[in-house]
Each structure stands twice: as C-alpha cells, then as structure tokens.
Amino acid sequence: MTNSEAMSSSVKSALAQNRAKVRLVEAHDPSSIDLVRTTIGSDGESFHGVWVSGLTQTTYLGIPDTEMITPLERASLITYADAGRHENDESRKLCWAFDADSGGPRAEIPALVAKLSSMGISMAVIEDKEVSEPGAKVNSLAASSASQGQANMHEFSATIMAFKEAAASSADFMVTARIESFTTRKRKQDATEEMASVRAALEDALARAQAYCAAGADAIMIHSKSKKPDEILDFIRRFRVRNRHTPIVVVPTTYSTTPEDVLYNAGANVIIYANHLMRAKIKTANRVSDGILATNPGLLSAEPALGRCASLQNFGCLLAKISEMEHRNEAIIQYGKELERGAVEGMRNVLTSLLDSKTSGGADRHIIPVADLLRINGSQVTFKLGSMSWPETGVETLAATKDRRGDGPSYGQHSSGWLGAIQDAFANWLKVFFTGMNSAVPQEGKGA
C-alpha cells in the first residue's frame, strides 16, 4: 500500500460508507483543498471529496480548456492534489476525481492512470466527445457546444477498455464514462422539433450508457446544460429500469435550483459542484484588486504577466503566478496576500452556502456566472508550461503538438498489440450488437 493509498479515501469507499450518496466540489490549490476538508455546514454535513476540474485547472494554469495539452500532461502539472502530502492521521480524508477530458492519446492512458493513482486520485471521468486534434475540444457549457460532435460509441467503448486495463491492478480505481448526448445536440426553434431532438438525445444517451457499461465503465456521468433537471431526471429513471447498481454522476451547474435530494431520490449517486470555488475566487479577488489598483494603478506595470491576468480577470492564474515569482517587490507581495485573503473568505462562503442550501444555485451571490468563467478561461495568459511553449498569440503550433504526442493524425483512437486486438474485436462486437438499436434512434437532434 502506497503512502497516498494509505492516507486518502476513494470514491468507491465513499459510496459504500455514505449510502451511495457522495458530494464532491471543485478545488484547484492548497487553500481551496484545505477549505473543502474543514468546512462543515450548519447541519453537520460536509463534502466527501474533491473534483479536479479541467475547466478550473486550465484557468489556474492560464490556458484555454480545449485539450491543447493532454490529460496526462495536465495531471503531471498538478502540484497541489497529492492526497498523501495534504492529509495526516488527524485530518478528515477526502476522495478525489479527475476530469480526464476525452481520455487523451491511447498510448498515454497507462501513464495517466498510474499518475492519478500515485496522487491518491481514485476516479477518472472521460467524456465521449469527438476530439480529433489538440485544442479542438469545446466546453460542454459553452454556447457553441453543439459544434462538437460525439465520439463513435464503439470506439469510445474501446477507450473505456483501455482505461480499465490500465487500472486492473487497483480495485478502488473507478473509470467513469461521461455522456454528452444532451450537450452536443443542436437546439431547435420549433417547439415540436425541440421535443423530438431532446427525445432523440435521451435515446442516444441510454444506448451509449448500455454500451459503456458493457465495456466495463464503473460509473456513468450524464451531463446537461439545461436550466431544468428534466433531461437528467428522465435519463436516470430510464437507466435505472435497466441498471439498478451502476453509480450515476451528475453536475447541476445549470439546473442549479434542483435540490440534492431530488437527484439522489431519482437514483443519482455522486453530485459534483464543478467550478464554484474558482468562480468565488475570481469574484472576490477582482473586487479586492480593483480597490488596490485604484490607489496604486502602476503596481503591476513592471510585471506584464500579472497585468495581463488582472486585465483579463484571471485571478486564479494571477495568484498562482505571484506564488511562483522568485523576485517580488514588497507591494506585489502584499497585493497577493490581500487577494488571497479575500479569495479564501469568498470560497468559504461558497462552501457553506452549498452545504446549507443543498443546491448549486445556493452560492450564486458569491460567484461569477459560469459564462464569465468560460470567457476568462478562453483568454490565454500563460505561454510556457514546463517544456511546453506557445506563441504569444495564444495559438499553439499544431504540428509540434502532434509530434510531442506521437499519435499522428488521430488524437487517441488507435491501439496496437494484443490489447488493441481485443479492444478492436470487442468494439466491432458492440457495433454489431447495437446496430439495430442505433438504427431505431433518430439522429435529428445530434450535433455535427
């Protein structure tokens, strides 16, 4: 047993210990992690674990959430989520789940699972989006999410199998398949056509869930950006008719007034508050920064990287950059301390509000809108991460990225050797098995 395994909980054990009802919240640095561990609601409730969000981690790093770096590269840049390093015998144990985007290049999956396991992260969530090249991912909550097609169901099943094979030695590691049928469909103006589109997406999601479970998925995440929970609740109820045991993960960012109990009682098992602490940090730090810069407008003039972060309101990355600076003047040190103090207060208020209200929207007064976070994330403020670098225009050299990944024209849908043969054979079997089902599902509502 490794130090991380000894010192951290797993999502699987959290489900077993909490009557299959687990609550996770996004955290992105040591201070936010400590707040998650120590904050308790007025009724004694707390968060069971941490969600390592792709959106908020890339915001923290200062790059867009477009898979311009692979999940393995992103996991390797986590310096704050080593569960063994941040927990001791007296501290409350947290479980950890990682947003693994589309899974990344097939060749990197074993290293990704090993890296996550070494940090005490016990769940990887992979989404069935069609990401054909680096930087091509569209965030599920973006207005343009329908421009992103879904991965072929059978090829994605082979990706699930690759993750399961990589995690074969860890009984507690969970591979969660995230289904994007609702977020990638094209909305219709006509009410009748819109209803048909939603129904088609529901049938597609159910078919995918069945295929992904057959491929070995340990849990299913169903995603939606509707302001009402109907899409999610309809999926859960239909899925539970066929499958009563596979855990279901939901993310109520947009259907934010839906109480936790409504989701749990319908059959959901894991609720993730996916980006609230970064949204709180940015709101509070922005207010504090405005006050300081109003009296000292030239404070950041000698530090253009910090000035760019501040002008684009990316205070998650700004605070990270200040902490990494080797040479800082006293005024900037104090500026960073004031921002961090305000950010901690804002994040604590959010955690308390989430725990007391039992709804995602219960913390709205303390956070920026998710649309603002997407806008902030879309502006690149970092152009060098370790050995990786990008032009100052913020546009990555695609050829160099493909060379670095060594996966050629496809982002990760190819395998080799005996494992690849098994995966391909299983994918072909699934394709034949579900052909009849798929032909009966109208495709009108799907994104291109």
pLDDT in tens, the chain (448 residues): 333 433 358 999 999 999 999 999 999 999 999 999 999 999 999 999 999 999 999 999 999 998 999 999 999 999 875 544 445 546 789 999 999 999 999 999 999 999 999 999 999 999 998 766 665 566 555 555 555 689 999 999 999 999 999 999 999 999 999 999 999 888 888 999 989 999 999 999 999 999 999 999 999 999 999 999 999 999 999 999 999 999 999 999 999 999 999 999 999 999 999 999 999 999 999 999 999 999 999 999 999 999 999 999 999 999 999 998 877 789 999 999 999 999 999 999 999 999 999 999 999 999 999 999 999 999 999 999 888 888 876 444 333 343 343 333 334 443 334 344 444 545 555 544 544 444 444 343 333 3
Which amino acid belongs to residue 158? A
Say which of 29, 34, 65, 234 is annotated catalytic: 65
Told to judge if 65 belongs to the known catalytic residues of this protein, a careful annotator would answer yes
Place of tokens 């939606």: 224
From the list 229, 212, 228, the residue with the least C-alpha distance to 220 is: 212
Output the pTM of the full model: 0.85
The upper half-sphere exposure of residue 277, i.e. CA atoms within 13 Å in the direction of its Cβ, equals 31
**Burial code of 162-196, b = ≥16 C-beta within 10 A, e = fewer?**
bbbbbbeeeebbbbbbbbbbbbbbeeeeeeeeeee
The pLDDT of residue 421: 43
The 10 Å Cβ neighbour count of residue 150 is: 21
Q: Do residues 55 and 74 touch, judged by C-beta distance below 8 A?
A: no
Show the domains of the chain with their CATH numbers.
3-277+360-389 (3.20.20.60)
Three-state DSSP class for residue 275: coil
Report how far apart, in Å, the C-alpha atoms of 122 and of each of 51, 159, 319 are. 11, 18, 28
- At 334, list the tokens: 């104090």
For residue 294, the model assigns a pLDDT of: 97
- Burial label for 264, CB within 10 Å (0-12, 13-18, 19+), is buried
Count Cα neighbours of 93 within 13 Å in the Cβ-side half-sphere: 17
Collapsed DSSP state (helix, strand, coil) of residue 251: coil
CA dist 205 and 434 (Å) reads 13
Q: What's 146's DSSP letter?
A: G
Q: Chain-centre distance of CA 269, in angstroms?
A: 17
- Residue 389 and residue 381 in contact, taking contact as beta carbons nearer than 8 Å: no
350, 363 contact by CB (below 8 A): yes
Res 138: pLDDT? 64
